[in-house]
């Protein structure tokens, strides 16, 4: 470092005795790394390979998720900044970012499961997770037992000698069921089984590691990114051995995040606590107003006193029950479709955790292949509408919902 506090790395062009050819000079430019500068945010390190002074130092960089930067599929400074931020939020021993939530979930499943192993999973699971478990069952003989998510006795009854993993979701979609994380994770722990909790619906509100989980996964596409512009995932681990194991698998799997996507995610992360608090508050407000509307027969939000896990939700998420709610329309399938076609402030779109409010009618879109019986089993009615609340003023959203409800009545 020189007197100006800046690292100057001179290219070979200046070091070599004879002046090298243009080709050589072009690939070895004189670089100035402004380590003396102090940017408030993390810059984008759009770089995939990092140089070393010696083989020993380079060899050490192959060793683990906290090593020196080596190659982009192992890690990257911008990506690591995102991992550190989410790790800090969840109170973990280390985090791993991926190119998508499914990239994260696949890295965990592939790291922890061998053929013939057994998994216990909550029945009401994200569709992608459900599909991967089905694939693992069909192709690698991984067996899956589904449990309700309410009762640790079901977990104990499902345990087998080769049970490796319990999979839960803090808040399930679109039922807003809240899993009894402390009781279920304790049942798994007694048997030496690892618990993975998908906390996509409740970042900040709930810290599953504090309730006995071993791994927390997020689709950062949703609340953490928060602006409908990136796809990403993050896993946080309670201990370093698990972190190392899944990181190693992830380097082989290759669902590595791009530094630019990681940078956008970090930018969203800065306002995550404010956004999720506001979305939770507005969701509960809308849930109460919907519950009093004559066209609505049922409303699900963990903050409503009539919610089956209301007391549990208050314990696990004292800061609010999340930004997702669902409600059932008297008029069934036709009414559900009419409502989601009629909204003007809210948008008809998949996903959740965005700055704008998104609605969808599962029976005619995401769950259209399910017949009435299968819908009921998934906790979805013909007239169920899922609302993922954004940051609009609640009165504007309610005015929009009122006019859409009038059309759907």
Put residue 236 in one of left, alpha, beta given phi > 0 → left and psi -120 to 50 → alpha. beta
Q: Which is nearer to ligand PLP, 221 or 338 (CB)?
A: 221
Q: Is residue 150 flagged as an active site residue?
A: no
Alpha helices in 51-173 (DSSP H): 55-61, 77-90, 101-112, 127-140, 152-158
Q: How far is 399 from 402, CA to CA, in rounded Å?
A: 5
Q: Is 386 in the site for ligand PLP (CB under 6 A)?
A: no
Q: Which is nearer to ligand PLP, 78 or 100 (CB)?
A: 100
Q: Which is nearer to ligand PLP, 121 or 231 (CB)?
A: 231
Tokens of 109: 């499943």
Q: Is 328 in the site for ligand PLP (CB under 6 A)?
A: no
Q: Is 224 in the site for ligand PLP (CB under 6 A)?
A: no
In degrees and rounded to multiples of 5, residue 80 shows phi and psi of: -65, -35
- Give the C-alpha distances (Å, rounded to integers) separating 334 from 163, 175, 329, 363, 403: 44, 20, 9, 10, 16
SS3 146: strand
In the complex, the smallest distance separating the C-beta of residue 45 from ligand PLP, rounded to whole angstroms, is 22
In the complex, the smallest distance separating the C-beta of residue 352 from ligand PLP, rounded to whole angstroms, is 6
Q: Which of residues 204-223 bind ligand PLP (CB under 6 A)?
A: 219, 221-222
Q: Is 265 in the site for ligand PLP (CB under 6 A)?
A: no
- Sequence-distant (≥ 6) Cβ neighbours of residue 389 within 8 angstroms: 279, 282, 283, 286, 323, 324, 325, 357, 397
Q: Is residue 400 flagged as an active site residue?
A: no
Contact 91, 216 (CB under 8 A): no
In the complex, the smallest distance separating the C-beta of residue 349 from ligand PLP, rounded to whole angstroms, is 13
Tokens of 241: 């051995």
Binding mask 77-106 for ligand PLP (x = CB under 6 A): -----------------------xxx----
In degrees and rounded to multiples of 5, residue 289 shows phi and psi of: -65, -40
Could you say which of 226, 233, 302, 362 contacts ligand PLP (CB under 6 A)? 233
Scanning the structure block, which residue is given the tokens 């998994």? 119
Q: Choose, from 73, 189, 245, 248, the residue flagged as catalytic.
A: 73
Q: Which is nearer to ligand PLP, 83 or 198 (CB)?
A: 198
Q: Is 383 in the site for ligand PLP (CB under 6 A)?
A: no
Q: Is residue 315 flagged as an active site residue?
A: no
SS3 64: coil
- Show the CA angle centred on residue 367, arms to residues 132 and 256, nearest 5°: 35
Q: Which is nearer to ligand PLP, 331 or 362 (CB)?
A: 362
SS3 223: coil
Q: Is residue 156 flagged as an active site residue?
A: no
Q: Is 176 in the site for ligand PLP (CB under 6 A)?
A: no
Q: Which of residues 120-149 bind ligand PLP (CB under 6 A)?
A: 126, 128
Alpha helices in 94-227 (DSSP H): 101-112, 127-140, 152-158, 181-190
Closest residue to ligand PLP in the complex (CB): 101
Q: Is 303 in the site for ligand PLP (CB under 6 A)?
A: no
Q: Which is nearer to ligand PLP, 85 or 159 (CB)?
A: 85
Q: Choose, from 45, 117, 180, 198, the residue flagged as catalytic.
A: 198
Q: Which is nearer to ligand PLP, 120 or 159 (CB)?
A: 120
In the complex, the smallest distance separating the C-beta of residue 188 from ligand PLP, rounded to whole angstroms, is 19
The residues annotated with a catalytic role in the active site are 73, 126, 198, 222
Residues that bind ligand PLP (CB under 6 A): 100-102, 126, 128, 169, 198, 200, 219, 221-222, 231, 233
């Amino acid at each position: 470092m020189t007197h100006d506090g800046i690292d100057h790395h001179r290219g070979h062009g200046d070091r070599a005795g004879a002046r090298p050819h243009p080709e050589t000079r072009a690939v070895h430019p004189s670089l100035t790394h402004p380590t003396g500068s102090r940017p408030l945010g993390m810059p984008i390190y759009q770089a995939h390979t990092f140089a070393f002074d010696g083989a020993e130092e380079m060899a050490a960089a192959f060793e683990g998720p906290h090593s020196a930067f080596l190659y982009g599929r192992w890690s990257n400074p911008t990506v690591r900044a995102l991992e550190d931020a989410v790790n800090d939020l969840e109170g973990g021993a280390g985090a791993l970012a991926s190119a998508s939530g499914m990239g994260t979930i696949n890295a965990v499943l592939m790291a922890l499961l061998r053929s013939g192993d057994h998994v216990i999973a909550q029945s009401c699971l994200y569709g992608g997770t459900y599909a991967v478990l089905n694939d693992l069952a069909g192709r690698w003989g991984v067996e899956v037992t589904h449990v309700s998510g309410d009762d640790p006795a079901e977990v104990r009854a499902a345990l087998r000698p080769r049970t490796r993993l319990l999979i839960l979701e803090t808040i399930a979609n679109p039922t807003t069921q809240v899993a009894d994380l402390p009781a279920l994770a304790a049942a798994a722990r007694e048997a030496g089984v690892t618990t993975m909790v998908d906390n996509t619906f409740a970042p900040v509100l709930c810290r599953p590691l504090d309730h006995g989980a071993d791994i927390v996964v997020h689709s950062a596409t949703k609340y953490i990114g928060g602006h409908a512009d990136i796809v990403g995932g993050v896993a946080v681990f309670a201990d370093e051995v698990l972190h190392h194991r899944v990181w190693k698998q992830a380097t082989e799997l290759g669902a590595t995040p791009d530094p630019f996507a990681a940078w956008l995610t970090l930018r969203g992360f800065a306002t995550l606590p404010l956004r999720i608090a506001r979305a939770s508050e507005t969701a509960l407000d809308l849930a109460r107003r919907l519950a009093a509307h004559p066209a609505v027969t049922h409303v699900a939000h963990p903050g409503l006193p009539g919610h089956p896990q209301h007391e549990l939700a208050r314990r696990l998420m004292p800061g609010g029950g999340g930004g997702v709610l669902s409600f059932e329309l008297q008029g069934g399938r036709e009414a559900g479709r009419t409502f989601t076609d009629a909204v003007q402030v809210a948008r008809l779109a998949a996903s959740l955790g965005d700055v704008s409010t998104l609605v969808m009618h599962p029976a005619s879109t995401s769950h259209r292949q399910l017949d009435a019986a299968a819908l009921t089993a998934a906790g979805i009615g013909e007239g169920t509408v899922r609302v993922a609340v954004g940051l609009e003023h609640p009165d504007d959203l309610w005015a929009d919902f009122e006019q859409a409800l009038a059309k759907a009545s």
